[in-house]
Structure 1
Amino acid sequence: MVSNKSQRRREKNLREALRIKSKHKTYASNSHSLYVTGENTNRRIRTTMASNGDDEVIKLVEGPAGYVLEDVPHLSDYIHDLTTYPNPLQANPAYSVVRQYFVHEDDTVQEKIVVHMDSPRGTHFRRAGPRQKVYFKPADVRACIVTCGGLCPGLNTVIREIVCGLHFMYGVTEVIGVDCGFRGFYSKNTVSLTPKTVSDIHKRGGTILGTSRGGHDTSKIVDNIQDREINQVYIIGGDGTQKGANAIYKEIRRRGLKVAVAGIPKTIDNDIPVIDKSFGFDTAVEEAQRAINAAHVEATSVENGIGLVKLMGRYSGFIAMYATLASRDVDCCLIPESPFYLEGKGGLFEFIAKRLRENGHMVIVIAEGAGQDLVAESIEQQDASGNKLLKDVGLWMSLKIKEHFAKQSVMDITLKYIDPTYMIRAIPANASDNVYSTLLAQSAVHGAMAGYTGFVSGLVNGRHTYIPFNRITERQNKVVITDRMWARMLSSTNQPSFMNSP
């Protein structure tokens, strides 16, 4: 007997799970109930397919105690009577010693791990990993890989591990790389990728396939996928790229093609929601230490020295915040999420003067998207990916600081400005990111072979999962300045919060 309170809780949780980009859109849903027999009990679950009127199909499974699974699409959702095959890993000697290697179909990962005693079980995602049955015969697989957007440490590792995972785990021999991003599908050549050709690419920065922004024409891309008889598409890129991947998936579904579309989310800024972090982020933070260390040396070597370092972070200041925490030599960290002001009591200039009087030197880290509201000339132009073109706030800030102290004539300063932006993103992945990129790539391969589509592989609460495209494109992940991590950073630098402007 289910209490009315529990029923209301489940219904509330289901409504929360149906988060769509615009609250003004209407939804058509089709629900049905089914019984799943477990070892000891029968449990009733409800599967809901909801559409937001924009060809966005959201697949939900509702279970007892407020359990909601935000499931990913499967080829069998729109293609019936698909043939399944035994997973080749069953005969792979490398995995013969692994107990329970195949992921159970009921395995899910909870989105929010911290709950209260009376909290509902909440939203879950399908756990990533190999299944006992696959929906592609390895000999029939023709896969392609494409990288889009900006560079990021680990891109080549992901490419390598998709190729090697398909080949060594599943026996797939036909994998091609698409040149220079989405437009490469219809305007560039492709390259054959084999374990031999990708054997050492993880030691290099950048991407061997090339990359670009924009160039997305859904119809042309899917036409090319059909013409080349590609049936697995692996798309590596950030939120804009994954929006394009979602459009490709929806067009493939509309045409009824047996093509799995899998995304591997990439952003050096770590601004993709839901996932714990994006690959390449650890490497970027580690490399940023070199620039901060150099700024610290320069600042401490002269009287009233200031080292100013600009780091990447267009809309999210994660690199700046984590690099500051890791360094412990930074006196002030400025990010897009936390407004600041220059003049007056409690402003940045006052804090700089105070710190110089106390220590005789200072190191400032600023994210590229910080302080854009203070820059005199605003730019409304956008790049090919739709990102707003920003002013060089680092150079602007260095000039403003010099001008201020020159006018005050109170103390002479020496300021050194360091911009390591492209050094940070162009290097090979470190050991941590190499392992992480490997697991993300293998998870994507397992998912595609198992017939899942329209998903990205990502780490949620330390577990690899399959996440629907709409969840990682609906918003950007940002530093929460009312959270403990930002408080830890403020405690590390002893800087003011700049919350109260004059």
Structure 2
Amino acid sequence: MSQIKYDFTVDNLGPCTVPSPIELSREHGNYRATYVKDSSFVRNQVNVFADDKADANDMTNLMEKAGPREKIYFNPSHVTAGICTCGGLCPGLNDVIRAVVRCLWNRYGVRRIKGIQFGYNGFFAEEGYDTIDLNPGNVDAIHKIGGSFLGTSRGGGDRTSEIVDSIERMGINAMFIIGGDGTQRGALDIANEVERRGLKIAVVGIPKTVDNDLQFIDRSFGFETAVQQATKAVNSCHMEAQSQINGIGLVKLMGRESGFIATAAAIASHEANFCLIPEVPFEMDGPNGFLAHLEARLARRGHAVIVVAEGAGQDLLASTNQTDASGNKKLADIGKFIKDRITEHFKEKNIPINLKYIDPSYEVRAAVTTANDSIYCERLGNNAVHAAMAGKTKIVIGLVHDKYVHIPITMATLKRNTVDPESSLWRDCLDATLQPVYMVNNINTVTEKLRIAASEANQKALARLEKVTKTK
């Protein structure tokens, strides 16, 4: 399998010659907050194995640190900033909007900040959405509510030329785009079109994916809040199941291609007996299938709790062959499928059960952030502003090994971050649930399927890398 060679080199609009209005220290050791230099980096690969060669000490492995620079590219009085939120709802959207506005206004003195309503669709005149003039006064309290103050929508990111036309008309030269994988690919197309036209506009992304499926970063904003809300649902389901004769609790959580929320909620709740995720295949029938293990669990303990990610077990269902406005494949309903199969199985066995099915997805998406998530959003927003003011472009802000860095969008969107079945995270989930490593009847078939899937994902990433490299 060919290895992907990453390039974390950050694009800049030009030399930084404007003194920053933020007064910080130029050196360490004087007990004052300092500027960050472009020569400060964080390693992508940090794991060390005795038989490995030394990690590369170049831009294939080094990520540029985020933070305020001593010299910036834009004169703050000349800046008009734009902010938009795209895709599905996620806890923390308002926290990020608030942080970007307050940092622009209070730290850099920027007074023209336009909120683009309803995602990329807000750029199109025929949609009829006016921009919102943002300032600390109208965003100060928005972190106390869920949703998006600016509204959000899917799609529209492929209308690149029209979006850049709109950005030009509004005089925006610092564009902040909050969204997931598809949104950030759209942001890259926008930045490339900006460059093709010879415009000096910084395009900075703040990655939003409640599924935590953006590669490289420690976690995405809103993920911690989602896990907390999901854990409450799992605990409630457990209480229902435990209180009934042969009680079964089934909770469906977000996770299209990545089962991080389901995995984390299973570990955090200490109450789940089965965790089903897209990355780990399972079968319903047979002596080592899921239903056989569920039946054994009921016979042994009298109740069971199942957590399933929405993208799990899609090979067991008929494909919808449809996509949403963002281009995401519409998933078949694994929750209803499992619910129906459990009901049928125990009816045939003449075993009475009491099954409760919960899908808290929209409640989770609209939740107000936890304190720690709110802190994370604040710091992401601040670092996005520092990056844009320093003329950084075509990047997203990410937390890597607990350090904030600039990640080129080309690298961040090559492929999705997924739960590795060989990882300590999944091992800990198995410890928490005590479920079998695989609930399948022929392990060789499954491992071969996983090898093929990993190879295909790698080939797709290599193909995309070649495409974006040519575009650049």
* 1:374 equivalent in alignment to 2:316: yes
**Aligned counterpart in structure 1 of residue 200 of structure 2, from 240, 246, 258:** 258
Q: Give SS of 2:84's match.
A: strand
- Of 416, 432, 436, the residue aligned with 2:376 is 436
Which one-letter code corresponds to 2:20 in the other structure? N
Deviations 1:198-248 (A, max 9, x none): 010001101011111111211011111111111000000000000000000
**Residues 89, 16 of structure 1: CA spacing in aligned structure 2 closer, same or farther, 3 A cutoff?**
farther
1:279 aligned onto 2:221? yes
Find the counterpart in structure 1 of residue 456 from structure 2: none
Q: Deviations over 1:294-347 (max 9, x none)?
A: 111110111110000000001110000000000011100000111101111111
Residue matched to 1:85: 18
Which residue of the partner structure matches residue 354 of structure 1? 296
- Structure 2 residue corresponding to 1:119, chosen from 54, 73, 76: 54
How many aligned positions are there? 428
Match of 1:267 among 187, 209, 229: 209
Question: Using the alignment, how far apart are the partners of 2:167 and 2:173 within structure 1?
Answer: 8
Query: 2: distance between equivalents of 1:452 and 1:387?
Result: 29
Among 186, 189, 210, the residue aligned to 1:247:
189
Q: What amino acid maps onto 2:219 in structure 1?
A: K
Partner amino acid for 2:138? T
| Higher fraction of helix | 2
Q: Distance in 2 between matches of 1:471 and 1:499?
A: 35
From 100, 104, 109, the equivalent of 2:42 is 109
Q: How does 1:56-455 map to 2 (within 5 A)?
A: 70-76=8-14, 84-90=17-23, 99=32, 101-116=34-49, 118-122=53-57, 123-187=61-125, 188-216=129-157, 217-375=159-317, 377-409=318-350, 411-455=351-395
Unaligned runs of at least 5 residues, structure 1: 1-14, 20-59, 61-69, 77-81
Aligned-residue offset at 1:115: 2.1
- In structure 2, what residue type is equivalent to 1:101? T
Q: CA deviation at 1:98?
A: 5.8
Q: Matched residue of 1:196: which SS?
A: helix
Which of 407, 413, 432 is matched with 1:473 structurally?
413
Q: Give the match for residue 491 of structure 1.
A: 431
Q: Residues 262 and 489 from structure 1, CA distance in 2 versus in 1: closer, same or farther, beyond 3 angstroms?
A: same
SS at match of 1:273: coil
How far the C-alpha of 1:350 sits from its partner, in A, is: 0.8
Structure 1 vs Structure 2 CA RMSD: 1.6
Q: Structure 1 residues 202, 379: closer, same or farther in 2, change over 3 A?
A: same
Letter in 2 for 1:144: G
Please state how far the C-alpha of 1:497 moved relative to its aligned partner.
2.1
Q: Which residue of 1 aligns with 2:450?
A: none
Q: Kindly indicate whether the alpha-carbon contact (under 8 Å) linking 2:99 and 2:382 is maintained by their aligned counterparts in 1.
A: yes
Q: Where in structure 2 are the equivalents of 1:18-37 lying within 5 Å?
A: 18-19=5-6
Alpha-carbon deviation of 1:485? 1.2
Q: CA deviation at 1:484?
A: 1.5
Structure that is richer in strand per residue: 1
Return the alpha-carbon distance in structure 1 between the equivalents of residues 292 and 49 of structure 2: 43
- For 2:353 and 2:62, the matched residues in 1 are separated by 54
Instruction: Please report how far the alpha carbon of residue 500 of structure 1 lies from its aligned counterpart in structure 2 after TM superposition.
Output: 3.8
- Cα 1:482–1:17 change in 2 (3 A) is closer
Q: Secondary structure at the match of 1:223?
A: helix
Distance between the aligned counterparts of 2:257 and 2:16, measured in 1? 45
List per-residue Cα deviations over 1:79-136 (Å, max 9, x = no partner). Answer: xxx67211100289xxxx9625101221000001212464134501000001100111
1:458 maps to amino acid: G
Q: Deviations over 1:161-212 (max 9, x none)?
A: 0000001111111101001111211232101000000010001101011111
Identify unmatched segments of 5+ residues in structure 2: 443-472
CA distance in 1 between partners of 2:339 and 2:294 (Å): 12
Distance 1:275 1:484 in 2: 17
Task: Name the amino acid aligned to 1:172.
Answer: V
Q: Distance in 1 between matches of 2:329 and 2:182?
A: 13
Deviation at 1:498, TM superposition (A): 2.2
Structure 2 letter corresponding to 1:235: I
**SS across alignment from 2:11:** coil
Larger relative CO (CA 8 A, sep 6+): 1 or 2?
A: 2
Alignment-mate amino acid for residue 216 of structure 2 = V
Name the % identity: 48
Deviation of the 1:492 alpha carbon: 1.1
